[in-house]
Amino acid sequence: MKITRLLLLTSMISTALVAVSCKSLSSPNAKPDTLTKKEKKDGWQLLFNGTDFAGWHNFKRDGVRPGWRIEDGALVCADPHNAGDLVTSNQFGAFELQLDYNISEGGNSGIIYHITDEGGATWATGPEFQLEDNAKATDPQRCGWLYALYQPPIDPKTGKTLDATKPAGEWNHVRLLVTPEKCVHEINGVKYVEYVIGSDDFNERVAKSKFGRMPGFAKSSTGYIALQGDHGRVEFRNIKIRPIATK
Counting DSSP H helices and E strands in the chain, the numbers are 3, 15
Instruction: Give the pLDDT confidence of 132-190 residue by residue, as tens digits.
Output: 999 999 999 999 999 999 999 999 999 999 999 999 999 999 999 999 999 999 999 99
Counting residues of the chain whose pLDDT is more than 70, the rounded percentage is 88
Report whether 182 contacts 195 (CB < 8 A). yes
At the second CATH level, the architecture of 34-243 is: Sandwich (2.60)
Rounded to whole angstroms, how far apart are CA atoms 141 and 185? 14
Q: Quote the pLDDT of residue 31.
A: 82
Rounded to whole angstroms, how far apart are CA atoms 210 and 230? 19
Instruction: Give the pLDDT confidence of 21-67 residue by residue, as tens digits.
Output: 333 333 344 588 999 999 999 999 999 999 999 999 999 999 999 99
Q: How confident is the model at residue 231 (pLDDT cuts 50, 70, 90)?
A: confident
Q: Quote the pLDDT of residue 129.
A: 98
Cross-sheet strand order for the sheet of 86-88: 56-58, 86-88, 224-227, 108-115, 128-132
Report whether 174 contacts 99 (CB < 8 A). yes
**Where are the chain's structural domains?**
34-243
What is the rounded average pLDDT for all residues in the chain?
A: 90
Instruction: Give the pLDDT confidence of 107-144 residue by residue, as tens digits.
Output: 999 999 999 999 999 999 999 999 999 999 999 999 99
- Alpha carbon 226 to its chain's center: 11
Rounded to whole angstroms, how far apart are CA atoms 225 and 88? 6
